A and B are shown apart, each in its own frame.
Chain A
């Protein structure tokens, strides 16, 4: 079987576009949306299942399939318009590479997702994994103006556009950002940029969890506007206590003023990080999400953080916890399918969605990225999947087996 798939793919893409993975699976690495579409079309016709891959740094490449389809040859920054603060980037481009290219021209993509710095842009979009900067700049979807997507059966859909405001047609982009590839492969994206801030300063404070959480809420209530405000568990921060970190960006005078107000808010003692350490600090906390095989996020509101952290600690392991000042909690660690199921039930009872961002296939297959939906939603999602992947070629476990 695998030889037949390999031969067919080589006929489509040439031998440079096809290789074998470590486990012998043929891997196609097309270098255009059009050739992606050809591969999906053929796979869909033949009934082959497709495993989607980016740079391979986030989700393990372990879904059972007849072929792997990777965006790693789609790694170009297509265009950057400094005057419009918009860039078009191929989905396989590594984030750090994109960041460098933008910084050269004084621009910034205000996304700091968990994981390695060379994560592909496509994987960040598909999993909607935002990091601490969501406090000031919103979630992943808020940075996306449009995207090209190849559907499971090989059609190219070009949703949205390259302008910052646009209501033409339905907002199909939203389905793909955070869709985990279940509705198609993102191949190219149009991103909203910001100017690289002139000042970028990080403060940290250590202390008991509840005191830090109260300080984070006080900062919110006082309408301070840090770009990031995130609380890290001792294991994640590699400290003896919990840590609260605030990142202030903007002009020099604005940051100085905000820093002054920050130090007057909440019962905590802030330390300013040395300028040369702050990028490394945020990089390390992002990478911590890879410390265990499973990463999940909980859509909790700020006033529910402590209780939710307790529940997670009780139902799962201690793990590594990162919690946003405006809510949203990310946990990384090792645990069982049974425990994840029971946590998801406990969260659903509190109206908190739980999304598995990263896990081995045995776990994804059982409980899915999303698990059970709310009232009336399940049938919509399955019909949407049918529309975008009629033959079920994309091997993505959105719901799991229940």
Chain B
């Protein structure tokens, strides 16, 4: 490793290579509180050419590496073990072009999600996927995780908004995937790359779609006396065929945390759960669907419904939701943010089960999530210095995953597998499918040097090598 550093410094200049213990501590974790490991060194390229040169150098030296954006990931994806070099992409943060007529933007991977929408706003356009971390997370990280957000219910997740990628493969060669228009050029390798969690290479140039801002928007906040009633309202809205722009739920623990914080949004603290429903589109559609939705909410026991159409009032209704994670920092030093998906009709039963698991393990579980997609985030507040408590959190998390899978769901809807969920993969994929994933990974990275140890369980990947089954 020591012999590698001068080579890296020659590429980026010594200022952009970090290797002292204290400097590395910043990079020892991402948003996941349970995994901590400093890399061997951190290198911060400032250009696409430097990325290529660094990857080539690491390939030559046989050193594994981990790409990192803002480090907000919640599955431990951007954490490297002490033998690996971290390649941090935050200096590559330019928005290279915005083409309003074609509704496309071209960005560097370190560009921050929210900056792109801000840049598109003067043209009446936006970048649709809006993770709650959008003020910090990068588009490269979004591509790697196939990130979602509240408005992905109607507009689709990251994968639906990326048309073209330039990637640096783990051997230092480059490939151009997709096309500006969005039609795959050959097999859909953009679709395959999005969500590959930094294991197929580094995206160095990203072309995204931009969507026009809706003509009319209406946001409503409804509060409920029980979580079950709120989740039944969600199922009823989905079954009605209306596709809201967003349909989010927060439970009482979460509402109280927000209302006690500087982000207080005026949510009713005696509610067992609140729903935020946003409708957008043409004026007639918003009014028509709004009446139907209000009716469904009332039928399912909403105690009150507050609606807003002006941007300022809507922002106030959203504020509590957007700041929920920040506010929950008040409850305990650490928050295990879980992520799973269930069929939407199963929401009431699964939320009951999650509540019961929390009570059984005597844990504080709060729910703030993308209800319209069935994408749960049961969050467990804890203190990682308390080993016994951390063990209970781990146990409860596993039980929650099992409950979601038993309901026909998935172990992650947007945060990725990383190192955190790796051991749950066999819950939803059989051996042959895991092996196929290993085979795909080796197509991009035959030497398994890009983000090693993530996503795929260690014992997977044997059968494929051994040959056919049947």
Binding site for B on A (CB under 8 A): 37-38, 40-41, 44-45, 81-86, 106, 128, 138-139, 141-142, 151, 153-159, 161-172, 174-175, 177-179, 182-183, 194-197, 223, 225, 250-254, 256-258, 261, 297-303, 327-328, 351-353, 355, 370, 373-377, 380-381, 383-384, 387-388, 398
Interface residue ranges of B328-375 to A (CB < 8 Å): 341-345, 370, 373-375
Residues of B within 8 A of A161 (CB): 409-410, 428
> Is B248 part of the contact surface with A, judged by Cβ < 8 Å?
no
Residues of B within 8 A of A257 (CB): 282-285
- The answer to whether A355 and B183 have CB atoms under 8 Å apart is yes
- The answer to whether A168 and B181 have CB atoms under 8 Å apart is no
Q: Complex: how many Å from CA A178 to CA B190?
A: 12
- The answer to whether A300 and B429 have CB atoms under 8 Å apart is no
Residue of B nearest to A180 (CB): B187
Residues of B within 8 A of A258 (CB): 282, 284
- The answer to whether B443 and A384 have CB atoms under 8 Å apart is yes
Q: Beyond the given A172-B192, A303-B102, could you list 17 further A-B residue pairs with CB under 8 A, ordered by the A residue number?
A: A41-B469, A84-B345, A86-B343, A154-B469, A158-B432, A162-B343, A164-B374, A165-B414, A167-B146, A169-B417, A223-B215, A225-B282, A250-B285, A253-B288, A254-B281, A375-B175, A384-B440
- B385-417: CB near A (< 8 Å → 1, else 0) gives 000000000000000000000001111111111
Among the 9-residue stretches B19-27, B28-36, B42-50, B238-246, the one with 4 or more Cβ atoms under 8 Å from chain A is B238-246
With contacts A154-B470, A257-B285, A352-B181 known, is A167 near B412, CB below 8 A? Answer: yes
With contacts A167-B146, A169-B425, A223-B212 known, is A138 near B156, CB below 8 A? Answer: yes
With contacts A166-B341, A179-B187, A376-B176 known, is A82 near B192, CB below 8 A? Answer: no
> Is B441 part of the contact surface with A, judged by Cβ < 8 Å?
yes
Q: Complex: how many Å from CA A154 to CA B187?
A: 21
- The answer to whether B102 and A171 have CB atoms under 8 Å apart is no
Q: Complex: how many Å from CA A178 to CA B185?
A: 10
> Is B189 part of the contact surface with A, judged by Cβ < 8 Å?
yes
Residue of A nearest to B167 (CB): A376
With contacts A154-B468, A169-B437, A384-B440 known, is A174 near B282, CB below 8 A? Answer: no
- The answer to whether A177 and B410 have CB atoms under 8 Å apart is no
Residue of A nearest to B292 (CB): A251
Residue of B nearest to A39 (CB): B470
Residues of B within 8 A of A297 (CB): 183
- B60-103: CB near A (< 8 Å → 1, else 0) gives 00000000000000000000000000000000000000000110
Interface residues on B, range: 35 or more
With contacts A81-B345, A86-B343, A163-B341 known, is A387 near B412, CB below 8 A? Answer: no
With contacts A299-B179, A301-B180 known, is A171 near B194, CB below 8 A? Answer: yes
> Is B263 part of the contact surface with A, judged by Cβ < 8 Å?
no
- The answer to whether B341 and A170 have CB atoms under 8 Å apart is no
Q: Complex: how many Å from CA A389 to CA B214?
A: 46
Residue of B nearest to A45 (CB): B468
- B214-236: CB near A (< 8 Å → 1, else 0) gives 11000000000000000000010
Residues of A within 8 A of B235 (CB): 83
Q: How far is the CB of A175 from chain B (nearest CB, A)?
A: 5
7 A-B pairs within 8 Å (CB atoms) are namely A38-B470, A85-B241, A163-B413, A169-B434, A297-B183, A375-B175, A376-B176
Residues of A within 8 A of B470 (CB): 37-38, 40-41, 154-155
> Is B37 part of the contact surface with A, judged by Cβ < 8 Å?
no
Residues of A within 8 A of B283 (CB): 257
- The answer to whether A175 and B345 have CB atoms under 8 Å apart is no
- The answer to whether A353 and B455 have CB atoms under 8 Å apart is no
- B145-167: CB near A (< 8 Å → 1, else 0) gives 11010001000110110000000
Q: Complex: how many Å from CA A257 to CA B235?
A: 28
Residues of B within 8 A of A164 (CB): 341, 344, 373-374
Residues of A within 8 A of B437 (CB): 169-170, 172
- The answer to whether A254 and B186 have CB atoms under 8 Å apart is no
Residues of A within 8 A of B441 (CB): 170
Q: Complex: how many Å from CA A85 to CA B345?
A: 10
- The answer to whether B185 and A374 have CB atoms under 8 Å apart is yes
Residue of A nearest to B428 (CB): A168
> Is B169 part of the contact surface with A, judged by Cβ < 8 Å?
yes
> Is B310 part of the contact surface with A, judged by Cβ < 8 Å?
no
> Is B447 part of the contact surface with A, judged by Cβ < 8 Å?
no
Q: How far is the CB of B173 from chain A (nearest CB, A)?
A: 6
Residue of B nearest to A387 (CB): B439
Residue of B nearest to A156 (CB): B432
Residue of A nearest to B124 (CB): A223
Residue of B nearest to A217 (CB): B101
- The answer to whether B186 and A398 have CB atoms under 8 Å apart is yes
Residues of B within 8 A of A328 (CB): 181, 183
With contacts A165-B341, A170-B441, A377-B185 known, is A388 near B436, CB below 8 A? Answer: yes
Q: How far is the CB of B402 from chain A (nearest CB, A)?
A: 14
Residues of A within 8 A of B344 (CB): 83-84, 164
Residues of B within 8 A of A85 (CB): 238-239, 241
Residue of A nearest to B192 (CB): A174
Q: Which of A165, A261, A328 has the most CB of B within 10 A?
A: A165
With contacts A86-B343, A383-B443 known, is A178 near B432, CB below 8 A? Answer: no
- The answer to whether A380 and B189 have CB atoms under 8 Å apart is yes
With contacts A171-B192, A250-B285 known, is A370 near B185, CB below 8 A? Answer: yes
Residues of A within 8 A of B240 (CB): 195
Q: Complex: how many Å from CA A168 to CA B341?
A: 10
- B117-131: CB near A (< 8 Å → 1, else 0) gives 000000010000000
- The answer to whether B184 and A178 have CB atoms under 8 Å apart is yes
With contacts A166-B410, A170-B441 known, is A81 near B186, CB below 8 A? Answer: no
> Is B182 part of the contact surface with A, judged by Cβ < 8 Å?
yes
> Is B321 part of the contact surface with A, judged by Cβ < 8 Å?
no
> Is B132 part of the contact surface with A, judged by Cβ < 8 Å?
no
Interface residue ranges of B234-291 to A (CB < 8 Å): 235, 238-243, 281-285, 287-289
- The answer to whether A83 and B238 have CB atoms under 8 Å apart is yes
Residues of A within 8 A of B173 (CB): 376
- The answer to whether A377 and B469 have CB atoms under 8 Å apart is no
Residues of B within 8 A of A40 (CB): 470
Residue of B nearest to A169 (CB): B437
Q: Complex: how many Å from CA A373 to CA B145?
A: 26
Q: Complex: how many Å from CA A374 to CA B164?
A: 12
Q: Complex: how many Å from CA A280 to CA B256?
A: 56
